[in-house]
């Protein structure tokens, strides 16, 4: 069971990194932040990526807690 949870955590973490990297806009902003002070509304794919990031983080936390409880 522990091996399965480890594998699930690895898959979730790699997916989470990819989703975060897909959110990077422009060439110079995103990964290390930028000084944008404009307000933007997320729409379309950007909204899906934002919500999937939140969902993946929550799933990762739940799987981590379950894994710790089983040890």
- 20-61 tens-digit pLDDT: 998 876 555 555 555 555 667 778 888 899 999 999 999 999
Total-model pTM: 0.75
8 A C-beta contact, residue 12 and residue 53? no
Residues recorded for the chain: 71
Q: Is the pLDDT of residue 10 over 80?
A: yes
Give residue-wise pLDDT tens across range 51-70: 999 999 999 999 999 999 98
Alpha-helical (H) ranges within the chain are 2-22, 45-70
CA angle at 54 for the pair 50 and 60, rounded to the nearest 5°: 140
Whole-number pLDDT of residue 1: 82
Whole-number pLDDT of residue 4: 93
């Amino acid at each position: 069971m522990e091996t399965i949870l480890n594998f699930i955590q690895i898959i979730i973490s790699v997916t989470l990194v990819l989703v975060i990297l897909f959110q990077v806009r422009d060439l110079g902003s995103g990964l290390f932040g930028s000084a944008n002070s404009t307000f933007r509304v997320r729409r379309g794919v950007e909204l899906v990526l934002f919500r999937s990031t939140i969902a993946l983080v929550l799933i990762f936390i739940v799987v981590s807690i379950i894994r710790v409880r089983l040890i």
